[in-house]
Chains A and B, each alone.
Chain A
Amino acid sequence: MTVAILALQGAFAEHGQMLDRLGVENFEIRQKRDLGRSFDALILPGGESTVMGKLLRELDLFDELRERIEKGLPVFGTCAGLILLAKDVEQGTPCFATMNLCARRNAYGRQLGSFHTDGVFAGDEKVPMTFIRAPYISKAGEDVEILAEVDGHIVAARQGNQLVTAFHPELDSDMQVYKYFMAMIEK
């Protein structure tokens, strides 16, 4: 199994380190020719969604990645990655718009609103959750499965081949969310 990590900007290296720990092969996508390598899944990391959205288009990655996601490529978006997948974005512009949900950008305010907590993920055990200038999901369509909520707001969800978290599992040492994604890929 090989996982590609979008490496245009942000905390992509951290995802690579987590995949290394799981022994999962991974590589970075920085430009069009990287799409020539074969991969079974994609991670959209945290960072600035405005920067990634712009570079996806200017480096001509957008159309091909969107098509692959629509055709069922397993994809995992964290924070900014969640915003890239959301069909609607409050205080921002949609990018891939492949997931039937509405994301509220900077939902917790500026950096002073960033926080760390624990929460139940996918009806299982609690996982550490780190929110950095994070969004949350303000609305989710009927076909979207809600995987985690914090203070009444949706912070993790899945729709078919697409998984999103408003928090950053790549910044904590817990592997549960990655294992969930690996199970999605193997199906």
Chain B
Amino acid sequence: MAENRYELNKQLAQMLKGGVIMDVTSPEQAKIAEAAGACAVMALERIPADIRAAGGVSRMSDPKMIKGIQEAVSIPVMAKCRIGHFVEAQVLEAIEIDYIDESEVLSPADDVYHIDKTQFAVPFVCGAKDLGEALRRISEGASMIRTKGEPGTGDVVQAVRHMRAMNAEIRRVQNLRKDELFDAAKNLQVPVDLLTYVHENGKLPVVNFAAGGVATPADAALMMQLGAEGVFVGSGIFKSGDPAKRAAAIVKAVTNFKDAKMIAELSTDLGEAMVGINEQEIELLMAERGK
């Protein structure tokens, strides 16, 4: 992948900042999401809550379904491939997807190796629970990072944990002496040049979004106040009572994430939130896939 292409891919993520990326399973849902103010949509056959309920092996979506969504909206369209499944990624690149999510929500295709994302022209977003995972994914070519909050649960606790862990580690790395970075890189199992960037800039070299378990405008604003640069909302919208209204409220809460008065208004009369499952009640922790 040309150096220039990687820069352009990081820069597309910069354009998504301050926005909400919504999971959609049909052209109709994609249109609702676009009209509600989504800055991009994630095309997938089943939203994470249903993937979790259905069990079994979960794979890349049918290209026909993804193309239907690409035709329905004018905003960027993302799609998921399995961790390590570089042929699914090749297929998504062939249909000119705007961003590939190498995602733990789907069943991993490889339990050792992630995709070598430097071999692709299209950009990748990957999940990370902490700084080590984030920098490993970036060294493999990811041009955007998101938390690995537990998908399909409506429980924000894990996304919060990952965002706090990431930012605490970034602060720690910032405060190291330069000659301590080599040992820190060894311990984190990451390349020292990426760690040096974090040391000097106090942030990841790519955009960092929150994902997993965001179900309300207050959840979204919480993640923004904790340092997320934007938010993915999966099952939280189309598993709720009034998707269009909830989606629009989450979009506004992300823009004005520090204005409690406005978030109070936005949280009013939204209808039923997705039911949700607590972290302790689930058998499968998707965040443990791919480290």
Contacts and interface: CB of A to CB of B under 8 A. Distances in A.
A110 B96 contact: yes
B11 A171 contact: yes
Interface stretch (B13-21, B53-61, B169-177, B210-218): B13-21
A78 to B, nearest CB: 10
Contacts of B39: 9-10, 47-48, 51
Contact of B18 (A8, A106, A130): A8
Interface in B231-289: 248, 251-252, 254-256, 259, 262
Interface string A9-21: 1111110000000
Contacts of A50: 34, 37, 74-75
A136 to B, nearest CB: 15
A64 B149 CA distance: 40
Nearest to A109: B96
Interface residues of B, number: 38
Contacts of A91: 74
A9 B76 contact: no
Contacts of B138: none
Interface stretch (B1-9, B106-114, B160-168): B1-9
Nearest to A170: B14
Contacts of A58: 248, 252
Query: Which of A106, A109, A111 has most chain B Cβ within 10 Å?
Result: A111
B188 interface: no
Given A48-B15, A110-B96, 11 more contacts: A10-B19, A31-B255, A31-B256, A50-B34, A54-B35, A59-B252, A110-B76, A111-B8, A112-B93, A130-B11, A133-B76
17 contacts: A10-B16, A10-B19, A11-B17, A31-B262, A46-B15, A48-B16, A48-B19, A50-B75, A54-B35, A59-B255, A59-B256, A111-B123, A116-B8, A130-B8, A130-B11, A133-B12, A133-B15
